[in-house]
Amino acid sequence: MLVRFGVSIPRELLERYDRMVRAKGYTSRSEALRDLIRNALVEQEWQEEREVAGTLTLVYDHHTGDLPGALTGLQHEHHHLIVSVLHVHLDRHTCLEVLVVRGKPRELRGLADRLGSLKGVKHSRLTTTTLGKDLG
Amino acid sequence: MLVRFGVSIPRELLERYDRMVRAKGYTSRSEALRDLIRNALVEQEWQEEREVAGTLTLVYDHHTGDLPGALTGLQHEHHHLIVSVLHVHLDRHTCLEVLVVRGKPRELRGLADRLGSLKGVKHSRLTTTTLGKDLG
Amino acid sequence: MLVRFGVSIPRELLERYDRMVRAKGYTSRSEALRDLIRNALVEQEWQEEREVAGTLTLVYDHHTGDLPGALTGLQHEHHHLIVSVLHVHLDRHTCLEVLVVRGKPRELRGLADRLGSLKGVKHSRLTTTTLGKDLG
Amino acid sequence: MLVRFGVSIPRELLERYDRMVRAKGYTSRSEALRDLIRNALVEQEWQEEREVAGTLTLVYDHHTGDLPGALTGLQHEHHHLIVSVLHVHLDRHTCLEVLVVRGKPRELRGLADRLGSLKGVKHSRLTTTTLGKDLG
């Protein structure tokens, strides 16, 4: 259910904001504001140890020792946190893998540490997002 | 080709670092250091407008207007930047989509703004990673 | 001059937001929203190479070589970027120094690199803020 | 006391790193590495709720209601967390104030929320740094 409320704001501030909103491609100022609000709430979800969603991006060289085996093994140990995986071959040596993950922030950070610390993983990044509940 | 160099460091600092390295699951201090180095280099790649890889994570409600159509249309307009897409159904309404993207940081940020600003997209995050070239 | 506009928003989203706003100590939802807007604009200022303000925080051991002399020398070379400096003695060895800086983001990042790379500086952080123009 | 250890690393990776180290103004690769290590440890301090140092940067319009009084009052309530304050007049209306703070991360975040949410504060930023203990 939609509700409506009013915001008072200095004219100059609103004009600057409207320019930025248009530059980013928004068709409505309300939608841009709702996105600011949702971003702030998602940050909070990750601080409060609620169940969240995330993505874990790994770039690695699959020729390193038994890295593919180690990655697969570790991922299966944590299968309850991993929803699915997308694998891209960046070049002859380099793989990019994105895991969609779901769980408590602390568990997801632990998994990211374990996978990111494997030899041959060149870069790893845990991205914080949300299950989207109560985010309109 | 591997080379070897020496680092001198206060003993206390090294001990604290070794504890952190073990806590994260690294089996070797060298590997942990190489990861710190690679992270610093990847940050730099994104500032220098070199070709990079990234992932763009979107959480959205597919029941919003013609959001699936709009997302598909915009993605096809930028197909040269998008390597592939993984889609997960989080619940009856909510989708999580991860795009693996590749291009200049400026182009990828533009694409992220366009997709993230669509009505119905609840959260969007551009994650900076790398094509892995010259990162050992 | 204040203007007023309306935002429509799903009721649940607004309720969650209001709880966060109260938890942070805001007395009005409008003020919290204006802060979100200003934050987004300040981020943009730092990407657009407009003149900005910032603070540069350094933690260092003043017993290291001629670090105090080197810091003073470098700061004077860049005196046009440095508005003023606050110095705190954290313990017998350790100093915390905050420089209020003002200039183009690129210049400020360069200064931060130069000071942060001096031997004996244990931690340095450039904080992005604003001259406050047109931010209501 | 200084100790020394060896790192093995692919030649290309080391060459790229050395270029970045020089560009940032470091005179030694070891010093650059020690800084990467210290940064990682300081991040960890803020997650572990150890006592830390920080700076809190506020930009505000001192003509707003009784903002100067409110800021002073709140700061005195938290005087045990605030080491000292530097105040800069950016223009006729706008002040920049940096507080050097010291305490548990949770307390410092709470203080930052309280001050940042006051009406008239245009931008606030809590910067995470360290008391410098055991950081070499």
| Domain with residues C11-47, CATH architecture | Orthogonal Bundle (1.10)
The pTM for the full model equals 0.91
Please give the average per-residue pLDDT across B100-108, as a whole number.
96
CB contact under 8 A, D55 and C93: no
Is B14 close to D7, i.e. CB distance below 8 A?
A: no
The ipTM assigned to this model is: 0.92
CB contact under 8 A, C17 and A134: no
Q: Where in chain A is the domain with CATH 3.30.70.1150?
A: 52-128
In chain C, count H helices and then E strands: 4, 5
pLDDT-derived band of residue A59, with 50, 70 and 90 as boundaries? very high
Chain C residues touching A8 at Cβ < 8 A: 2-4, 30
Q: Which of A65, A129, A132, A55 is nearest to A96 (CA)?
A: A55
Give every CB contact of residue B61 below 8 A, 6+ residues apart in sequence.
A132, B67, B93, B94, B95, B120, B122
Chains sharing 3 or more CB pairs under 8 A with chain D = B, C
Between B83, B100, B129, which is nearest A123 by CB?
Answer: B129
- CA dihedral of residues B5, B9, B15, B21 (deg, nearest 10): -40
Distance from CA of D104 to the nearest CA of C (A): 15
Q: Which residues of chain D have pLDDT under 70?
A: none
Q: Which residue of C has its CA nearest to D126?
A: C127
Determine, for residues A129 and B96 on separate chains, whether the beta-carbon distance falls below 8 Å.
Answer: yes
Instruction: State chain B's mean pLDDT as an integer.
Output: 94
Q: Which residues contact D5 (CB under 8 A, 6 or more apart)?
A: B6, B7, B9, B14, B29
The size of the A-B interface in CB pairs under 8 A is 144
Q: Which CATH number is C52-129 given? A: 3.30.70.1150
Distance from CA of D46 to the nearest CA of C (A): 14
pLDDT tens track for B42-83:
999 998 888 999 999 999 999 988 999 999 999 999 999 999
**C32, C42, C98 member nearest D55 (Cβ):** C98
Class of domain A52-128 as given by CATH: alpha beta
Distance between CA atoms of residues C100 and D125, nearest Å: 13
Closest alpha carbon within chain D to B15: D134
Q: In this complex, which of D39, D88, D125 lies closest to C84 when CB atoms are compared?
A: D88
pLDDT above 90 for C134: no
Give start-end residues of each CATH 1.10.1220 domain in chain C. Answer: 11-47
Residues of chain C with CATH 3.30.70.1150: 52-129
